């Protein structure tokens, strides 16, 4: 890396996205003190159409496409994404240069201010719970079919404001984002992964770079975490095999325990009445194979019919 080189880091402009980009900026600056790290904010289609429900958007690149175009045309040198927002099929010419260490992968329940019942399952019969995730919706309804699900979208600040102004019992968010913004005090309960399986790649950052750009690849290598890379490779392979995106009710959790990669996954109907679950375990080096194997297991159990039903209906 040349001294005094300028490295441009592309990101969305939300508070959480900027936190993530600045975290990357700090680590790279410490590793390469002679280079200038410049953050470039890029507005994506997903940022511009927040009046529409995320669940009704079939576009898998809503929060990444404009950033990826800037990467391809050389306007930026690397892009910082929440890995769960990054489609499993990347544009030609781009690749993931590093997957960061993972923050806590679990979801949290945040009760509305003034609601003294701090747990999800402790909410009264017929309570309203807000989430913009079909994955969460399916799993919540599978264990509490009496609950009413309210759709919510927007960045974390927007969602918190909507919760405060609502009559909902509370809402569900990824713990990683809440913790990164320093909002732990609003958490009522952290839900176990057994109760609500997380999204593919939840808690990790994906650093996207140009294919063949060995200079930047070596530069971002300091950000890579091998355990997170293997676990999320299995999760993304599963999602790719199932043909899903972030707006399909698929949950999965990969982790390495005593040198064994364990992978759990679920596919559920939107009303939670049908949920197919499975698990595999094997060598971390076979991460992608394990993800494909579990996807095929779920499909053989009926996940194909659930997914086809969802895709053929209007959400």
- Read off the tokens for 55: 């669940």
Q: Which of 47, 85, 213, 264 is catalytic?
A: 85
Cβ atoms of residues 128 and 169 within 8 Å: yes
Give yes or no: 304 in active site.
no
Is residue 240 within a helix (H) or strand (E), and if so which, with residue range?
A: helix 226-242
Q: What are phi and psi of 227, to 5 degrees?
A: -65, -45
CA distance 243 to 79: 24
CA distance 66 to 122: 42
**256 - beta bridge partners?**
261
Nearest Cα neighbor of 137 from 218, 199, 67 is 199
**254 - beta bridge partners?**
263
Helix (H, G, I), strand (E, B) or coil at 78: strand
Tally the C-alpha atoms within 13 A of residue 31's C-alpha that lie toward its C-beta. Answer: 15
Is residue 175 within a helix (H) or strand (E), and if so which, with residue range?
A: helix 175-180
Query: Pairing between strand 275-282 and 260-268?
Result: antiparallel
If phi over 0 gives left and psi between -120 and 50 gives alpha, with beta otherwise, what is residue 211?
Answer: beta
**107 - beta bridge partners?**
174
Cβ atoms of residues 89 and 173 within 8 Å: no
**282 - beta bridge partners?**
261
Catalytic residue IDs: 85
């Amino acid at each position: 890396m040349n001294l005094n080189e300028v490295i441009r880091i592309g990101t969305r402009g939300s508070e959480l996205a900027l936190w993530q980009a600045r975290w990357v900026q700090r680590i790279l600056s410490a590793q390469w003190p002679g280079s200038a790290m410049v953050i470039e904010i890029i507005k994506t289609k997903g940022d511009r159409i927040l009046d529409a429900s995320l669940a009704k958007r079939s576009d898998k690149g809503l929060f990444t496409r404009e950033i990826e175009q800037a990467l391809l045309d050389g306007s930026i040198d690397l892009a910082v994404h929440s890995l769960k927002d990054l489609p499993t099929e990347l544009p030609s010419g781009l690749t993931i240069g590093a997957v960061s260490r993972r923050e806590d992968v679990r979801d949290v329940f945040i009760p509305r201010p003034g609601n003294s019942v701090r747990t999800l399952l402790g909410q009264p019969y017929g309570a309203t719970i807000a989430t913009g995730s079909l994955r969460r919706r399916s799993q919540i309804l599978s264990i509490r079919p009496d609950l009413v699900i309210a759709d919510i979208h927007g960045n974390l600040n927007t969602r918190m404001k909507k919760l405060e102004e609502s009559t909902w019992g509370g809402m569900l968010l990824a713990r990683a984002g809440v913790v990164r913004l320093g909002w732990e005090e609003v958490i009522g309960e952290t839900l176990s992964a057994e109760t609500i399986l997380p999204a593919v790649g939840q808690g990790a950052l994906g650093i996207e770079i140009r294919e063949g750009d060995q200079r930047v690849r070596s530069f971002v290598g300091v950000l890579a975490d091998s355990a997170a890379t293997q676990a999320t490779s299995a999760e993304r392979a599963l999602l790719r095999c199932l043909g899903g995106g972030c707006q399909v009710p698929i949950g999965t959790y990969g982790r390495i325990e005593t040198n064994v990669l364990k992978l759990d996954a679920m596919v559920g109907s939107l009303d939670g009445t049908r949920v197919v679950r499975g698990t595999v375990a094997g060598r971390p080096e076979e991460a992608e194979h394990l993800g494909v194997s579990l996807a095929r297991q779920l499909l053989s159990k009926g996940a194909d019919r659930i997914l086809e039903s969802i895709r053929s209906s209007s959400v």
